[in-house]
Structure 1
Amino acid sequence: MSTTPTLAPPPAGDGADAVDLRGFGYEPKLRRSIGSYASFAAGFSFVSILTTVFQLFAFGFSFGGPAFFWTWPLVFAGQFMVALNFAELAARYPLSGCIYQWSRRLSNATIGWFAGWVMIVAQIVTVAAAAIALQVVLPQIWSGFQLVGGDPALTSTSGATNAVVLGSVLIALTTLVNVSGVRLMAIVNSTGVTLEIIGVAAVVILLLFNVERGPGVVFDTGGLGSGLSYVGPFLVSALMAAYVVVGFDSAGELSEETRDPRHIAPRTILRALAASGIGGGLMLLVALMAAPSLTDGRLATEGLPYVLTSRLGQTGGRVLLVDVAIAVAVCTLAIQTAGSRMIFSMARDGVLPFSGALSKVNPRTGTPALPAIVVGVGAAAVLLVNIGQAALFTALTSVCIVLLYIAYALVTVPLLIRRGRGWPRSEGAGATERGGKLFSLGRFGIVVNAAAVLYGIGMILNLGWPRQEVYDPAGTHWYLHYFSLLFVGAALLAGALAYLRYRARVATLHPRLDFAAPVPAPVAAGETA
């Protein structure tokens, strides 16, 4: 049975956003200081194509050759189907910890709890994975950043140890920014994203002036097969794009800190993904066209940094690598911010350990500081695995993406079921804070939703399939071969044990809510809508 809360008239001094939030049963605690661009930046910096494409280009090329390029538009199309559904939900449920909040309202509180749990684990590991990317960049800018030993390769003992040092320093800095307040976080993130966008444009333009071959290179499989024999390598290489194109929902995570979230969040989710998809695709294309060689093996081991330094010279290449390092930093910041909001959202419902402390918001900064510290400490602990166990860390960071896709599916599958029952029933009554219509897929909702579900399930299977060449290329540890299944199983088992402790509290949460957005008060003369 669906319900539509009746909102009391706003107290003096309360804005429409605060009244809106009370309709969901929450008192406003977070500060609404994020505008449209900062909201876009949150999603764009989580995807962070400069960070992830630079970090993972070699992986995709090594398994699929130049034709691995086609995995990018395919994954982008699938994720855009997911994003369209998320945009529709963001307009109706503008709440922090959106994956948790959406899932529990569309299905029930138990499924929502597990969606939130899976997302927290994935975000903590993803913070570590993003921070470790500094090791791929900084030692190439200046050898002095290699503080431990002389070999910067992540697979070497000295490189792995140095990666932990650099990554830990970065996480400490991002934690400091996060606890200092949302305004500082938004300024740092927006500035970093602006520089990243400039960097992406510079990479594309500069490499276009140094092309070695035409765009037809994307049809070259690199001798890895043809026809049906290329399907296997192609599916493995698709993991590169799958690793990259996630996190666009971060704009939804910050809904309670965004002004006019019903209007802004849906649009910035889609814009962040669209900008990432277009920019990342262009980077892949021009890198393949400008690479000095496709057969000398360096593209499969050194990736994009090799292309930049060889084509633009050491100075030009290093300047762009500085921009990549900035992108790594803001990517780490954005993921940590999203993770802290997920913890805060679940804690205020009293369904996590130490919920009382985790749900507190610093009255001076307006930020949930303890959740940011928890994410930072957890990510730093995950980083330590990389010392002497680079293969294990690689497997761990790969599998965390499986968890993200599972969390997404715990939203899209219940949403598809609800659509079959007539969701959203209150469509005609809702409006954004500006009086406009809520973002809606209309009659295409079921088709788009079904496509998102099929894509998500297919990618979960592809990501989690136990492949030795991905999870245990050296063939030395059986548990690495099956690490995807083992890790996901362990995360769910740990979640089940934690859930038993809070099962009674979870059962009291309102499982469903067809919430009609309140029609805002008329804008006074002289004000801007």
Structure 2
Amino acid sequence: MSVPAPRSHPDHAPDSHDLGSFGYGQQLRRNVGPFASFAAGFSFVSILTTVFQLFGLGFSFGGAGFFWTWPTVFAGQLLVALCFAELAARYPISGAVFQWSSRLAGTDVGWFTGWVMVIGQVLTVATAAIALQAVLPTIWSGFQLVGGSGADSSPVSATGAQNAVVLGVLLLVVTTVVNAVGVRLMAVITSAGVVVEIIGVAVLVVALFGHAERNPSVVLTSQGAGEGNYLGLWLASSLMAAYVMVGFDSAGELSEETRAPRATTPRTILRALVLSGVGGALLLVGGVVAAPSLTDGSLAGGGLAYVLTARLGDVGGRLLLVCVAIAVVVCTLAVQTSGSRMVYSMAREKAFPFADLLGRVSPRTGTPIGAAVLVGLGAAIALAVNWDQSAVFTALASLCIAMLYLAYLGVTLPLLVRRLRGELPTGGTDEFGKPLFSLGRWGVPVNVLAVVYQTVMVVNLAWPRASVYDLTDGTWWLQYSALLFIAATLVVGALVHRRNRSRHGGKIVLGQLLVSAPQRTTPVEEPA
């Protein structure tokens, strides 16, 4: 496989030479600027997409008090993001989670971390794409392609579930094409989409608080909560916040395509999470205070879309739902891009099946087309599960969160071990001569708390709740599907990893396969 040399453009050469110090030639094109880097993480989190998608789920369990799961999860994920920012400054390489884990704990641990992350990302692409069903038919009944405009469009109905597959697959075709065309187009679309989403969130928050039915202090109550022990209900409702606040590490996945990544990426990781946390909190409170009722079941069933149409009318509500639809598209694009970079990073080490195809960068577009197609195809297959049995897909959508948290733990736990041993690299400067982002003396306590938080959340997310994983109310394997799926993922991963090692001569040595590869220069485009 031929590898392009570092680009000759003066703004790109230092970054390319820096990448070369890790043993990699500059294959991907550095067309991502600071805002596009931030947009990659913010659009993966995509509070409009995920809050609209799962508000009803969270409220159905915890009632108004489920709001407090948001700041709890935000605080925990901020600890994780701080650890990631520190690593992003020191290892600005695509496939960040795989690369970080491999360099901290060895390539065997790193491989399993990357494998779990890839599977989780593929499922997340599917769950993002399926969110179109919660938005488009509400905007215009003509988007209900299965059964006609008069059919039930609820995602849990038969016609709604099938239509969700059709809309989701169509969206995946579009996002796969965009990913294949080039990172510059992806950066432009995500940047524009994030601007629309931020404006939409601001307008929506003002609209919701402008139509307040009750005081914000209602979040101190459990009005609208389900039946049973409230602590258990509250923990179940945290699935919503946990699902929303992931993906801020996407800026790290694009490190090899970002200008001045050591300086840029740590900041954009943190900004993406912080802005998402603030905006999402305001949306949650606004939805609770503006809802016509907290106890008649409408808010749990219809979520924020119900509040919008009830308070702003059909025209105003639909205009804001257009912003949500744009956010869904951009979110799906961002998650697929992130997943394709993870696959590419692993494949170029000969650590993934069909490595020659998936680890190849198109000299024409500067993108790993094979990896993008694989992630899109995998998400489409996951979507297809929803055709006849939406309960199965709900279980898959829930467990993908546990998969991502487990992969994150594969980074923060080895980081803590290395930190306690005093083996973490210190010092160094970024592309502008400033000290690299560092937690300094706060490193150990932040890292410890991050690991404790993630461990608790993995247990909470994978806990076999029938009300989350078994909507059929009687299928045992659905109830335990999170544990079964994670176990199956690890078993299949072990077989794949063993086969790859036997075919490619044993242990993975990061970067060594590309060090002596032939070089050539490709054109440079200006960054978005």
TM-score (norm 1): 0.92
Q: Which residue does the alignment assign to 1:15?
A: 13
CA distance in 1, matches of 2:9, 2:320: 51
The question of 1:165 aligning with 2:166 is answered yes
Moved more, 40-49 or 359-368: 359-368
Equivalences for 1:252-401 in 2 at 5 Å? 252-401=252-401
Q: 2:52 aligns with which of 51, 54, 66?
A: 54
Q: Which residue does the alignment assign to 2:448?
A: 450
Residues 463 and 506 from structure 1, CA distance in 2 versus in 1: closer, same or farther, beyond 3 angstroms? Answer: farther
1:17 aligned partner, one-letter code: D
1:118 aligned partner, one-letter code: V
CA distance in 2, matches of 1:420, 1:11: 41
Please give the secondary structure, in 1, of the residue aligned with 2:385.
Answer: helix
Q: Which residue does the alignment assign to 1:471?
A: 469
CA distance in 2, matches of 1:511, 1:418: 19
Residues 225 and 352 from structure 1, CA distance in 2 versus in 1: closer, same or farther, beyond 3 angstroms? Answer: closer
Equivalences for 1:57-206 in 2 at 5 Å? 57-149=55-147, 150-206=151-207
1:382 aligned partner, one-letter code: A
Q: Which residue does the alignment assign to 1:526?
A: none
Question: What is the CA-CA distance between 1:509 and the residue it aligns to?
Answer: 3.1
Residues 173 and 419 from structure 1, CA distance in 2 versus in 1: closer, same or farther, beyond 3 angstroms? Answer: same
Q: Which residue does the alignment assign to 1:37?
A: 35
CA RMSD across the alignment: 1.8
CA distance in 1, matches of 2:53, 2:382: 18
Residues 113 and 211 from structure 1, CA distance in 2 versus in 1: closer, same or farther, beyond 3 angstroms? Answer: same
Q: How many residues matched?
A: 502
The question of 1:248 aligning with 2:219 is answered no
Q: Would you say the 8 A contact 1:105–1:512 is kept in 2?
A: no
Deviations 1:292-340 (A, max 9, x none): 1111110010000011111111100000001000000000000000000
Deviations 1:248-278 (A, max 9, x none): 0000000000000000000000000001000
Q: Would you say the 8 A contact 2:135–2:321 is kept in 1?
A: yes
Q: Would you say the 8 A contact 1:48–1:327 is kept in 2?
A: yes
Question: What is the CA-CA distance between 1:511 and the residue it aligns to?
Answer: 7.1
Question: What is the CA-CA distance between 1:476 and the residue it aligns to?
Answer: 2.8
Q: Which residue does the alignment assign to 1:485?
A: 483
Q: Would you say the 8 A contact 1:108–1:511 is kept in 2?
A: no
Q: Would you say the 8 A contact 1:104–1:512 is kept in 2?
A: no
The question of 1:438 aligning with 2:439 is answered no
CA distance in 2, matches of 1:68, 1:223: 10
Question: What is the CA-CA distance between 1:473 and the residue it aligns to?
Answer: 3.1
Question: What is the CA-CA distance between 1:11 and the residue it aligns to?
Answer: 8.4
Residues 97 and 53 from structure 1, CA distance in 2 versus in 1: closer, same or farther, beyond 3 angstroms? Answer: same
Question: What is the CA-CA distance between 1:155 and the residue it aligns to?
Answer: 1.5
Question: What is the CA-CA distance between 1:475 and the residue it aligns to?
Answer: 1.1
Q: Which residue does the alignment assign to 1:509?
A: 508
CA distance in 2, matches of 1:187, 1:42: 11
Residues 162 and 433 from structure 1, CA distance in 2 versus in 1: closer, same or farther, beyond 3 angstroms? Answer: same
Residues 10 and 383 from structure 1, CA distance in 2 versus in 1: closer, same or farther, beyond 3 angstroms? Answer: closer
Q: Would you say the 8 A contact 2:60–2:225 is kept in 1?
A: no
Residues 153 and 11 from structure 1, CA distance in 2 versus in 1: closer, same or farther, beyond 3 angstroms? Answer: closer
Q: Would you say the 8 A contact 2:30–2:258 is kept in 1?
A: yes
Question: What is the CA-CA distance between 1:353 and the residue it aligns to?
Answer: 1.2
Gaps of 5+ in 2: 1-5, 513-528
Q: Would you say the 8 A contact 1:105–1:510 is kept in 2?
A: no
Q: Would you say the 8 A contact 1:101–1:112 is kept in 2?
A: yes
Please give the secondary structure, in 1, of the residue aligned with 2:135.
Answer: helix
Moved more, 411-420 or 217-226: 217-226
Question: What is the CA-CA distance between 1:12 and the residue it aligns to?
Answer: 9.5
Q: Which residue does the alignment assign to 1:27?
A: 25
Q: Which residue does the alignment assign to 2:521?
A: none
Q: Which residue does the alignment assign to 1:4?
A: none
Percent sequence identity over aligned pairs? 60
Q: Would you say the 8 A contact 1:10–1:19 is kept in 2?
A: no
Question: What is the CA-CA distance between 1:507 and the residue it aligns to?
Answer: 4.5
1:48 aligned partner, one-letter code: S
CA distance in 2, matches of 1:220, 1:296: 16
Please give the secondary structure, in 1, of the residue aligned with 2:58.
Answer: helix
The question of 1:213 aligning with 2:214 is answered yes
Q: Would you say the 8 A contact 2:349–2:510 is kept in 1?
A: no
Please give the secondary structure, in 1, of the residue aligned with 2:344.
Answer: helix
